[in-house]
Amino acid sequence: MAQDTIVNGVNVDQFFNSIDLFKEKPELALFKFRAANKWLGGTKGQATVKDFYGPGQEDTSREASSFDLDEPIVLLGKGEGTNPVEYLLVALSGCITTALVVKAAAQKIPLRGVESRFEGDIDLRGFLGMSPEVPVGYKEIRVYFKIDADISDEQKEELLRLAEKYSPVSNTIKSQTPVSVHLEK
Amino acid sequence: MAQDTIVNGVNVDQFFNSIDLFKEKPELALFKFRAANKWLGGTKGQATVKDFYGPGQEDTSREASSFDLDEPIVLLGKGEGTNPVEYLLVALSGCITTALVVKAAAQKIPLRGVESRFEGDIDLRGFLGMSPEVPVGYKEIRVYFKIDADISDEQKEELLRLAEKYSPVSNTIKSQTPVSVHLEK
């Protein structure tokens, strides 16, 4: 049995095999991801992530992960956790990074290091309902990437454009993604 | 000195004082939140959250928080962390919950408990660049809330609509929020 091709720690054969598989059976490309949340008083809460659906079946193999949520003291909290809009940047940071690394691997471009920083602007008058003109969410998010690899700046830019184009979190944020909120009785 | 009014663990006086303050000095409502990310090989990475800006100054008072990111084994990873699209649901879960709790507090509605679950659909053919018709991000996110309080179902629904309307993460996802990605040389 031939050895799989690994670039940047990514199994490139598994990547291309997935494309072949999803061409044949597109229903196997449909995944469902989940989280649960429990309010702990004030602005504190705990979120849990465990199971997901895909490919074609429930996956319960991972351990549960828990995340503490809180607002800083200046925003009605106790500062004993990371706040929701910061978790959104955590999500975005992981997503563009992974998209970059996987797309580089698919092109057999080895990377030595990838570091990035994320900053988003929020005008709290939106949340407080003080003015309908003020956006409630992030007004803008800025992202800065450092890529350590033996490729030209133009190739780094190209990789970054690919990563941005194919990052699920970035696309969820940039598109008008529907969110439906239901009361369970 | 009179005691502050606390409802649901939220300082309601601080909430209304913020509104008064931001009416007078809107620039104090402008916050910047941040995250940093370091790639750890394959689909693994670590994100860090610490400082933020607001109101009117840098806030470096919190301890740093770190978050492990990884993809499950069926998605090129080792399953040793939560993946980016799951972190997005963590963010959304905390945000709608906090908006709900704070808006209830502002109306002096006491809550006993709030629990919620979140599920989003992703078609991986988008990420893999297999078809321009398939959305790269979440196609849809569904949210289910259980609210334990001595209020009618109609009041619970109203609170939930308010929470949804004023949740920064929900609005970031539902709007076309600009994300600009830059290469640092």
What tens digit of pLDDT does each residue of A6-21 get? 999 999 999 999 999 9
CA distance A94 to B19: 34
Interface contact A181-B143, CB threshold 8 A: yes
Residue A126 with chain B: CB contacts under 8 Å: 166, 168, 171
| B143 part of contact set with chain A, CB < 8 Å | yes
Shortest Cα distance from A25 to chain B (angstroms)? 11
Query: B138 pairs with which residues across the strands?
Result: none
* Contact (Cβ atoms closer than 8 angstroms) between residue B96 and residue A39: no
Determine whether A129 is exposed, middle or buried from the number of CB atoms within 10 Å of its CB (0-12, 13-18, 19+): middle
What tens digit of pLDDT does each residue of A11-56 get? 999 999 999 999 999 999 999 999 999 999 999 999 999 999 999 9
DSSP state of B23: H
- State residue B2's pLDDT score: 75
Question: In this model, does residue A1 exceed pLDDT 70?
Answer: no
Averaged pLDDT, B154-161: 98
What percent of chain B is modeled with pLDDT above 70? 99
Averaged pLDDT, B7-15: 97
- State residue B1's pLDDT score: 59
What tens digit of pLDDT does each residue of A80-117 get? 999 999 999 999 999 999 999 999 999 999 999 999 99
pTM, full prediction: 0.98
What percent of chain A is modeled with pLDDT above 90? 97
Interface contact B136-A166, CB threshold 8 A: yes
* Average pLDDT value for chain B: 97
Shortest Cα distance from A9 to chain B (angstroms)? 4
Shortest Cα distance from B27 to chain A (angstroms)? 9
What tens digit of pLDDT does each residue of B73-124 get? 999 999 999 999 999 999 999 999 999 999 999 999 999 999 999 999 999 9
Rounded to the nearest 10°, the torsion over CA A145, A149, A151, A157 is -10
CA distance A69 to A77: 10
- State residue A165's pLDDT score: 98
Model confidence at A136, pLDDT cuts 50, 70, 90, reads very high
A55 preceded by cis ω (within 30°)?
A: yes
| B170 part of contact set with chain A, CB < 8 Å | yes
Interface contact B156-A35, CB threshold 8 A: no
CA distance B123 to B167: 26
A29, A69, A182: residue with CB nearest B143? A182
CA distance A70 to A53: 29
- State residue A2's pLDDT score: 75
B113: Cβ contacts below 8 Å, ≥ 6 apart: A39, B146, B147, B148
Query: Which residue bears the tokens 């503490």?
Result: A68
For B92, nearest residue in chain A (alpha carbons): A84
Shortest Cα distance from A3 to chain B (angstroms)? 16
- State residue B83's pLDDT score: 98
3-state secondary structure chain A: CCCCCEECCEEHHHHHHHHHHHHHCHHHHEEEEEEEEEECCCCCEEEEECCEECCCCEECCCCCEEEEECCCHHHCCCCCCECHHHHHHHHHHHHHHHHHHHHHHHCCCCCCEEEEEEEEEEECCCCCCCCCCCCCCCCEEEEEEEEECCCCHHHHHHHHHHHHHCCHHHHHHHCCCCEEEEECC
H-type helices in chain B, by residue range?
12-24, 84-106, 153-165, 168-174
Interface contact A172-B88, CB threshold 8 A: yes
What tens digit of pLDDT does each residue of B43-65 get? 999 999 999 999 999 999 999 99
ipTM entry: 0.98
What percent of chain B is modeled with pLDDT above 90? 97
Q: Which of B164, B2, B17, B184 is nearest to B98 (CA)?
A: B164
A21 — phi, psi (to 5°)? -65, -45
CA distance A148 to A159: 12
Q: Which of B55, B57, B36 is nearest to A90 (CA)?
A: B36
